[in-house]
Amino acid sequence: MIERVSSSPVRDLLALIDRPEVISFAGGLPAPELFDLDGLRAAFHQALCEPVGRRNLQYAPTEGNPELRALVAARMTGRGLPTTAADLLITTGSQQALTLVVTALLGPGAVVAVEEPTYLAALQCFRMAGARVVPVAGDEHGMIPEALEEVVRTERPTLLYLVPTFANPTGRTLPAERRAAIAALATAHDLWVVEDDPYGELRYRGSPIPALAIGAPDHVIHLGSFSKIGAPGLRLGWLRAPAALLRTLVIVKQAADLHTSTIDQAAAAIYLAATDLDAHVESLRTAYRARRDAMIAALPSTTPPGATWTDPDGGMFVWVTLPGGVDTAVLLSDALAHDVAYVPGAAFHATTPDHATLRLSFTTNTPEVITTGLARLAPVLRG
Ligand code: PMP
C-alpha cells in the first residue's frame, strides 16, 4: 500500500496558497458565506436537547438515521429518481461511499473504466485498491458510448466510474441519449456503474437530465452528497444501490466506521425537515451563476489565442486547455508569484496527462474578485 500512496509537487505548491493575498481558483470548495449557519445552528441545538439529545449521542445502526434516509429518499424521488429509505445507506461524505464500493467490488488487478480527465480522489481510491484504471474516450459532451463498448470488450472492467452531471474537473454534462446507451451497455455486459452526483442540484441553465440509474437500476450505484448543497464539514453523503449490493456495502461500512456521526445525521434530518432546501439551493444557484458568468466573460482576455474552455451548465468548474506545448504545472509557480492559483490538469488524467490543461473553480470568489484574479492570471497564461 505505502508505495501506492504518494504526495505530488503540485500538492506541495498548492499548500503555499494559504496567503490571504492569493486569489485562489484551486480549491473545489463551496462558498462558506453561503452556508446556512443559522439554520444548521438551530438544528444542532435541537438535536442536542432533551430527550432526543441522549439518543443522538449514542451508537446507531450502520444504515443511517431513519428520518434522514426518508428525507433524502423523498428529495431524490422529487428530483426524478424514485427512491425509498430502504434503498439508501448514509455515508461519511460521498468520498466514503466510493471507498466502500471499491472495497466491496474490486479485488487487486480489477479494471475500472473512467472518463479522462476525472475526479482525482476517485483515481486515488481505485489505485490504492490495486485496481487498473482504463480511460474511455470522450468529447465535449463526455464519455462516448461506442468507446466504452470497445473498452468493455477488450478490457472487461468490473466498474465504470462517472460524474455525468457538471463533472469534476471539466464541468461537462453527459446528454440523455448517452446516459441511456451507457445504461444499456451496463445491463448487457453486467458492468457496475458508479454515478457520482455531488453537483447535480447546482444547475444554472437548462433542464435536469434523468439520472443514469433510471436506465440500469440493477447496475448503478448512485452517490449523493450534502457537501455542495449544505456544507462539506458535515461529511454527510449517501449511496443508492440495488438491494443485494446494499447489504454487502452495509457490512463493509460497519467494518470501516460502524456508522456516520449520529449527531450530524440527526441535525441534518432536523434541518432538512425544517428548512426550505429548495429555496436555499436556489440562492446558491443565483450566486454561483453570476460567478460562472464572470469567469466565462473574463476568459477571452485571460488566455492566449487558441485556448479553449468549457462553459458549464452547472457545478463548480471550468476546464481550460491552452495551445502549444505549455505545462500548467510549471506556470503555477509564476501564477503564485502573481498571487493567483489554479489546479494544473495533468493529475486528473488516469493514464495520459494533458499538461496544457488547468481547472478553475468559480464558487468561492465574488464576480469582482474573479475578474481581478483572472486579470492577474492573464500575463502568466498569455506569456
Ligand atoms: N465526488 C466528486 C466528483 C467530488 O468532486 C467530490 C468532492 N469534491 C466528492 C465526490 C466528495 O464529496 P464529499 O464531500 O461528499 O465526500
Q: What is the CATH number of the domain that holds 262?
A: 3.40.640.10
Same domain (yes/no): 30, 42: no
Does pTM top 0.85 for this prediction?
Answer: yes
Same domain (yes/no): 262, 337: no
- State residue 288's pLDDT score: 98
Same domain (yes/no): 123, 64: yes
User: What atom in ligand 1 is closest to the CA of residue 163?
Assistant: 3
Measured by CA distance, the residue closest to atom 5 of ligand 1 is: 168
- State residue 346's pLDDT score: 96
The domain boundary, picked from 274, 289, 306, lies at 274
- State residue 7's pLDDT score: 61
Same domain (yes/no): 267, 358: no
- State residue 4's pLDDT score: 64
Same domain (yes/no): 298, 343: yes
* Per-residue pLDDT tens digits for 35-74: 999 999 999 999 999 999 999 999 999 999 999 999 999 9
The domain boundary, picked from 274, 301, 323, lies at 274
**Residue 93 Cβ contacting ligand 1 at under 6 Å:** yes
Same domain (yes/no): 230, 89: yes
- State residue 18's pLDDT score: 78
Enumerate residue ranges in the chain where pLDDT < 70: 1-10, 13, 16
The domain boundary, picked from 225, 257, 274, lies at 274
Same domain (yes/no): 29, 11: yes
Neighbours of 210 (CB within 10 A): 14
Same domain (yes/no): 268, 285: no
Give CA–CA dist 88/324, Å, rounded: 47
- State residue 3's pLDDT score: 59
**Residue 227 Cβ contacting ligand 1 at under 6 Å:** yes
- Which grid cell sits at 336? 503564485
**Residue 30 Cβ contacting ligand 1 at under 6 Å:** no
Same domain (yes/no): 125, 208: yes
Domain that holds residue 326: 2-36+279-382
Same domain (yes/no): 207, 356: no
Q: How far is the CA of 122 from the centre of ligand 1 (A)?
A: 9
Tally of domains in the chain? 2
Q: How far is the CA of 54 from the centre of ligand 1 (A)?
A: 31
- The per-residue DSSP string of 65-89 comes to -HHHHHHHHHHHHHTT----GGGEE
Same domain (yes/no): 249, 205: yes
CATH code for position 283: 3.90.1150.10
Same domain (yes/no): 229, 83: yes
**Residue 94 Cβ contacting ligand 1 at under 6 Å:** yes
The C-alpha angle with vertex 296 and arms to 115 and 294, in degrees rounded to 5, equals 130
For residue 121, the surrounding DSSP H or E stretch is helix 120-128
- State residue 17's pLDDT score: 76
